[in-house]
Structure formats: structure tokens, C-alpha cells
Structure 1
Amino acid sequence: MENSRLLRILIPTLVGIAFVLLWEFLVRANGIAEFVLPAPSRIALSFYENFDSLMASLWVTLSITLLAFFLAVIGGVGLAILFSQSRLVEMALFPYAVILQVTPVVAIAPLILIWVGFDRTHLALLILAWIVAFFPILSNTTLGLRSADHNLRDLFRLYGASRWQILSELQLPSALPYMLAGMKISGGLALIGAVVAEFVAGSGTSTGLAWRIIEAGNRLEIPKMFAALILLSTLGIVIFFCLSWIEHRLLFRWHESAVRREG
């Protein structure tokens, strides 16, 4: 068991180290220009030189991402519960949620910026990131609430359970795995939404990592661009693994998907 876990960590780590060493060797051996592909050592140096500005930008991107994700969870779960209690409300509102999901964020970003105001760019970025992150939680939670065992639901009704008792003691526990799966998708999408929105906003008033990438690209500071990209990727990985850990802690004692991993 412990050896298996160790191998799952060790093998990807060794592959990553080998890839970085090969990258460094090929860049140096072929004399590739820095503005085309910088060596990992040069990217690390650029990260050290721009540490303060990159960390400040990372915090801006992270704060927008986490707030958008939190609002998406609250809104998605709340609306899904409403849908599960009223088929009429679901029929009336769900198509508009789909429209919101399928509309490209880059298409509506200029409108959001105009409506919110260019002096409130962070609010516009938050709205755009929320739009991207909202639908996976809504759709997955709605599916989970609808997937509660109908035999158990009938049994609850037979014993005179109220709608609140059916919801809190049957539907929500049954929907938890679906909800957590939606959250794992939504966490990454919130980050993508924040980055894409900042690329579109790109007015210079933003200070997130996406703006640092634009700024570095305009100045041909490619090592700095790579440093910001690596920070973004690392942030996405951390968000995913944090949500995976939460999923595991909530499910491992009773849900089949997590119990099997334990075995």
C-alpha cells in the first residue's frame, strides 16, 4: 500500500526532472535564442528577479479565482436545490443557464467591462470567472439530486417525511459525489475564466498573472512569461489536488468510488 503510494509520487517526479534536464540540455546544445525558448535555469533566474511582482499578481489571480469559485458553489448548489423542488422552476430557468454556459466568455467580456465600468475591472473579472465556473456545479448537483434512489424516496414519504427531511437526509447525501465532481471541474474553470477575462480586459489596470504574461510578451521578456505560465499551471494543480483531497475526505468512508481507492 505504502509502496504503491510512493511510486505514484516518485515516478511522475522523476519524469518531470528528466524532462527539465533534457530541456536544459537541448536549449544549450542547439544555442536556441532566449526569446524563442529559454532554458529552465533562465526561467528560474527570471522568477527570482521578478519574485515580488509575480507573487503580487499570483495573489490577485488567486483571490479572483477563489471568490468566483465560492460564489459559483453557493449559486450552483442553491439553484440546483430549487430545481429539485420545483420542476416548473427548472423548466423556466435551466435553458438560460445553458445559454450562459455556451456563450463564449471572450464574446461577452467587452459588454461586462462596459456595464461594470473600466474603473472596476476586478469586479468584471470576477463576474466573468463566475460565469465560467457556475454551470458545472449547477448541472452536476441537479443530476445528483435527481438521482436519489426513488425507492428510498418512496419509503421516506411512506413514513411521513417532510420535503426538507427528504432533501437533507436523502437527496443531498446522494448528490454529494456529483457535487464534488462538479466542484473539481469548476475550480479549474474558475482559474481559466479569470485568466481569459484578464486577457480580454487587458487594459493595464489589472495586475494578475495573465496581465504579467501579456506585459512580458510585449517586451519580449520570454523567461518572465514562462515563469508566470508555470505559476498559473502550479496554481491550477494545487486547486485540483485540494478539491480532490476534500472529495476523498468526505467520501472515503462510505462512497464506492473512494472505498475502492482505499483497497
Structure 2
Amino acid sequence: MAEPAIDHRGRWLTPLLSTLAMLAAWEAAVRWWEIPPYLLPGPLLVARTLFENFGSLLPSWWFTVKITLAALALAVVGGVLLAVLFALSRRAEASLAPLAVVLQVTPIVAIAPLILILVDSTTAALLVCAFIVAFFPIMANTLQGLRSADANLRELLRLYRATRWQTLRYLLVPSALPYFMAGLKIAGGLALIGAVVAEFTAGAAGRETGLASRILEASFRTEIPKMFAALVLVSLTGIGIHLAMQALARRVLGRWHDSERG
């Protein structure tokens, strides 16, 4: 028996109610056991702290967002171009694929200090770290999509003597688009994680720094509610990126691909 479909209202009402229930349980647990704020602040205290410190956190939030979006844009360009190159040339894939795999499987925490040493600008180093984390999902998913095109359609285009560019444009790109959008959803969150983790590793301080620096500063000063407020901003940013990627996928694929047609 098929599971009943969730209507438009249920798509946002169900997660909203579950989130409110978890926050209420958190607040009740903090009050019931009288947990001090320097150990675990309640959601109401975190929300009030975020409201009171939003002006000071906003520049750091915008810095993190800029690093994330710039890294994601570079990952899209680099990942798609490399996937197309691999799809068209097996020799290029054999030469460059091991390097891409090495960058993917190496923890960013391990190579971030080296990048910070080699790159003069801290901002550029953070951008490189976030790019490395976000690059592989886009490249791998796009390459898988390019190779998932119907073999019979490939033969048909070859029969009509279509050029490589025509095959790429009319067959491979439409076939790879759903895979690319799936990789983009993954890479959006990973770019944010890479930016934050790289800044934690850098231990940067000052005005031109992101939310990770505000979290470190708050932890050093035992301002735990402020630390949670910065963490909430990071989480809300990640949720916003995820929702934006979902909306983009629905916009691009909704009219012709089953994965987004509801």
C-alpha cells in the first residue's frame, strides 16, 4: 500500500511542529534540572542573546556567507569542467582523478594548516579550504550523470554524425542535470562546514573574521549563551542554503524530471 502524499501545508508544518517540540523539551529539561547557563543555556536565553548581540554577529555572519558562496561557486565551475573533461577523455581522468580522490579523502583539518602556511591571505586560505570540501561531490555527481546517458541515444547521435559538442549539449547535459543538482545540495552544506572548520583551524581573530571566530571567543570567555547564539546562526545559514538548493532544483527539474515533480 502506497504511503499517502503530504500536502503543501504539511511539508512545512510537520517539521516546524517537531522542531518546536524539541525546543520545548530542551527548555523544560534545563529548567527542571536547573542546569546553569554556563553549562547549557535554554533556547529562550539563546534567542535573547542572539537578539541582543545580532548587530555584533552580523558582520561575522556575512563574512562566513561570502566565503561559503564564493567557495561553492568555484566548486561548481571547477567540478563541472573537470567532470566534462573526464567524460570526454579517459586519459585525462586517469591522470587527474587520483588527485581529486586524495583531496576528498584527506581531512580538511589535516591540510588546513598547510594551506594557511602556503597562502599569504587568511581569507584566501579559508576560501581554498571550503572549495576543496565542496568540490568533489559536484565533480563526482556530474560525472556520474554524464555517464548515465542512454546508450541507445548515444548510438543514435553517433549515427547522425553528431559532434562531441552536440552530444554534450543535447544528450549528456540533460542527463547529468539531476545528478548535478543532487551534488549541489550536498556541496552547499559542505562549503559552509569547510569555511567554519578552516577558520577554527586558523584561529583567526579581528574584525574580518567569521562566525567560527566568534564561537572561539565566546568559549574562551565562557560566554556560553553567546557561543550558542553564533552556533544557531551557523545552523540557520546551513538550513537556508539547503532550502535554496531545494528551490533551485525544483525550479530547474520540476517540469520534466520525476525527482522534483512531486
Normalized against structure 2, the TM-score is what?
0.95
Superposition CA RMSD, Å:
1.5
Task: Select the residue among 38, 44, 47 that pairs with 1:44.
Answer: 47
Q: Alpha carbons of 1:84 and 1:3: their partners in 2 closer, same or farther (altered >3 Å)?
A: closer
Identical aligned residues as a percent: 56
- Point out the more displaced range, 64-73 or 233-242: 233-242
For the pair 1:222 / 2:224, whether they are aligned, the reply is yes
Report the equivalent of 1:167.
Answer: 168
Report the equivalent of 1:69.
Answer: 72
Alignment partners' CA distance in 1, 2:260 and 2:28: 42
Amino acid at match of 2:13: L
Report the equivalent of 1:238.
Answer: 240
For the pair 1:88 / 2:99, whether they are aligned, the reply is no
Report the equivalent of 1:53.
Answer: 56
Alignment partners' CA distance in 2, 1:106 and 1:26: 34
Report the equivalent of 2:148.
Answer: 147
Per-residue deviation at 1:28? 2.1
Q: Secondary structure at the match of 1:34?
A: coil
Report the equivalent of 2:12.
Answer: 9
Alignment partners' CA distance in 2, 1:253 and 1:6: 21
Alignment partners' CA distance in 1, 2:159 and 2:61: 54
Q: Secondary structure at the match of 2:7?
A: helix
**CA deviations over 1:63-94 (Å, ceiling 9, x no partner):** 00000000000000011111111111011111
Amino acid at match of 1:149: D
Per-residue deviation at 1:3? 7.2
How does 1:181-260 map onto structure 2 within 5 Å?
181-205=182-206, 207-259=209-261
**CA deviations over 1:93-145 (Å, ceiling 9, x no partner):** 1111001111111111111111112xx11110000000000001111111111
Q: Alpha carbons of 1:38 and 1:91: their partners in 2 closer, same or farther (altered >3 Å)?
A: same
Amino acid at match of 2:224: I
Normalized against structure 1, the TM-score is what?
0.94
**CA deviations over 1:212-232 (Å, ceiling 9, x no partner):** 111101111010111111111
**CA deviations over 1:19-47 (Å, ceiling 9, x no partner):** 22232222223221010111222112211
Q: Secondary structure at the match of 1:227?
A: helix
Q: How many residues align?
A: 258
Per-residue deviation at 1:50? 1.1
Where in structure 1 are there 5+ consecutive unaligned residues?
A: none
Amino acid at match of 1:126: L
Per-residue deviation at 1:203? 3.0
Q: Alpha carbons of 1:177 and 1:214: their partners in 2 closer, same or farther (altered >3 Å)?
A: same
Where in structure 2 are there 5+ consecutive unaligned residues?
A: none
Per-residue deviation at 1:172? 0.6
Report the equivalent of 1:177.
Answer: 178
Larger helix proportion, structure 1 or 2? 1
Q: Secondary structure at the match of 1:36?
A: coil
**CA deviations over 1:158-203 (Å, ceiling 9, x no partner):** 1121110000110011000011111111111000000100000013
Alignment partners' CA distance in 1, 2:178 and 2:16: 29
Amino acid at match of 1:79: L
